[in-house]
Structure 1
Amino acid sequence: RDYGQPFAEIFTRFKGDFYAIDPLLFSPAEVIVTAIETGDTFRAGQRDPKMLERSLG
């Protein structure tokens, strides 16, 4: 719901109450896991540099 909006706007909308913001907003964009035994690497998700740039204004 708040994805892609500048954090300052979200923070203001919640009247500065950080804990009232949807915790999923802080989920990692990308997760990379490497298996120690095999060296295989698994990836999920992706970064969105344009969205990050817009969000940080």
Structure 2
Amino acid sequence: SRDYGQPFAEIFTRFKGDFYAIDPLLFSPAEVIVTAIETGDTFRAGRRDLKMLERSLG
């Protein structure tokens, strides 16, 4: 998302509280984990940004 890296409160304020005007890609999962049923192999992609989470939650 073009808004990635900014605390959500700032984004929400910039869009004047219009939740539906915010880029929908901002709500994509940070991390995806998939396990294959047949083999049991697990695949991971992405990561959580804990520093950003701390900034957002204060």
- Pairwise same-fold verdict (TM > 0.5): yes
Q: CA deviation at 1:20?
A: 0.4
**TM-score scaled to structure 1, two decimals?**
0.88
Structure with higher RCO (Cα < 8 A, 6+ apart): 1
- Cα deviation code 1:19-56 (max 9, x no counterpart): 10001111111100001111000011111111111122
Aligned residues: 57
Q: Percent identity, aligned pairs only?
A: 96
Whether the 8 Å contact between 2:12 and 2:18 is mirrored in structure 1 is yes
Cα distance between partner residues in 1 of 2:46 and 2:40: 20
The runs of 4+ residues in structure 1 deviating greater than 4 Å are none
Whether the 8 Å contact between 1:14 and 1:20 is mirrored in structure 2 is yes
Q: CA deviation at 1:11?
A: 0.6
Unaligned regions of 5+ residues in structure 2, if any?
Answer: none
**TM-score scaled to structure 2, two decimals?**
0.87
Unaligned regions of 5+ residues in structure 1, if any?
Answer: none
Cα distance between partner residues in 1 of 2:12 and 2:3: 11
